[in-house]
Amino acid sequence: MLNDITIDEYYNSHQDIPIIDVRSPGEFQKGHIPHAVNVPLFSDDERATVGTCYVQESREKAIELAYTYVNPKLNYFLEAGREVSGTGPVAVHCWRGGMRSHAFAEHLSVNSFNDVYLIKGGYKAFRNYVLNYFEQAFHLRIIGGFTGSGKTNVLQVLQQRGEQVIDLEALAHHKGSAFGSIGEKEQPTVEHFENCLFEAFRKLDVSKAIWIEDESINIGRAKLPMVLFKQIREQKVFFLEVPIEERINYLVNEYSQFGNELLAEGIDKIAKRLGGQHVKSAHNYLSEGNYFEVARTVLQYYDKAYSRGVSERDQKNVQYISVKNTEPEANADSLLKQINSNE
């Protein structure tokens, strides 16, 4: 049975049903519903050729060409569909809920698939749903602190203790600095980062507090939705004050394992902001294997930049918490103690 369904209905009533995205691999790579499976009706080249035919010849000619690409794949589509959902239920979408998804969904439906849902408006409707989702007000508890404070590790401890947590850096595959891509997988596109961020938020109870790290709007090439970034900037931040020597030790342990070549590239990325003499010193220390002084030199830039960001906040919303080191369990205790004292 073939059923039309909105993206809102899907998330409210059918979110456990697997999704097949029939767009081309290139479209899927740019951004997709996080748990969707790509079974492309056309390859990237085929899609481009059909589009050119539509523009240069006619709609009818384009449809005729499309069938020559699709017909040899009909058995494959059924096999791929069974791998995703057995024989149903399953939801299907393309870019705007047009001919591609209709043809694919009908093919499944007439070939013994049960409860095939066609997402109206397709991926475009999903994208609007995502962007509208971030318009709501969230109750955020923001962890701040200078570079090397071990904030991500504290978030992980809080999550282990049952707190609601969004790890922006894990979703972005980037630690948010010129060195942030080191040791990480390739970053998602801006579009897909937003999709993954939505997926992370929707699994939480948004009526309750959510812990999140203080970040700039850009995390590498990923970018926070502006409405969410404004909330992060306007809500209360719990600033962990970690001694600089402890932060340096943390950074040395974190990054020295990746080798001098990647570290040198990171230094060069901030050369203009760090200043010529500091850049020269950092490279000299790096060649000597003196990672402690490399980190101390680089922190001169990052600490100043972060201090500027904190100074631009309403200071009534900044609570400073002095801690001894970067030990995440103890620092999570300090944060929760501060929360309890506020309530």
* Model confidence pLDDT, tens digit, residues 78-127: 999 999 999 879 999 999 988 999 999 999 999 989 999 999 999 999 99
Catalytic residue among 33, 94, 103, 279: 94
Pair (15, 46) in one structural domain: yes
* Distance separating alpha carbons of residues 118 and 6, to the nearest angstrom: 8
Answer whether residue 343 shows pLDDT above 70: no
Answer whether residue 71 shows pLDDT above 80: yes
Closest CA to 90 of 163, 25, 17: 17
Pair (90, 30) in one structural domain: yes
- Encoding tokens for residue 60? 């009818």
Q: What is the CATH number of the domain that holds 20?
A: 3.40.250.10
In which band, very low, low, confident or very high, does the pLDDT at 13 lie, cut at 50, 70 and 90? Answer: very high
Q: CA 26: distance to chain centroid?
A: 18
Pair (90, 195) in one structural domain: no
- Give residue-wise pLDDT tens across range 285-332: 999 999 999 999 999 899 998 898 888 888 999 999 999 999 999 999
Q: Given 76, 101, 132, which residue is the final one in a domain?
A: 132
Q: Given 101, 132, 163, which residue is the final one in a domain?
A: 132
- Give residue-wise pLDDT tens across range 20-59: 999 999 999 999 999 999 999 999 999 999 999 999 999 9
Pair (155, 30) in one structural domain: no
Edge-to-edge strand list for the sheet holding 210-213: 165-166, 210-213, 140-145, 237-241, 318-322
Pair (261, 289) in one structural domain: yes
Q: What is the CATH number of the domain that holds 296?
A: 3.40.50
Place of tokens 């439906």: 109
Name the residue range of residue 260's domain: 137-342
Pair (185, 314) in one structural domain: yes
Pair (68, 160) in one structural domain: no
Pair (51, 126) in one structural domain: yes
Q: Given 98, 132, 166, which residue is the final one in a domain?
A: 132
- Whether the Cβ atoms of residue 193 and residue 223 lie closer than 8 Å to each other: yes
Known catalytic residue at 53: no
- Encoding tokens for residue 67? 């069938």
Closest CA to 298 of 312, 286, 309, 310: 286
Average pLDDT, the chain: 95
Number of domains in the chain: 2
- Give residue-wise pLDDT tens across range 143-172: 999 999 999 999 999 999 999 999 999 999
Say what percent of the chain tops pLDDT 90: 91
Answer whether residue 260 shows pLDDT above 70: yes
Instruction: Reply yes or no: is the peptide bond before residue 18 cis, omega within 30 of 0.
Output: no
Pair (142, 116) in one structural domain: no
Segment 243-271 mean pLDDT: 95
Place of tokens 């980037």: 174
Q: What is the pTM of this model?
A: 0.93
Pair (125, 147) in one structural domain: no
Pair (186, 293) in one structural domain: yes
Pair (292, 333) in one structural domain: yes
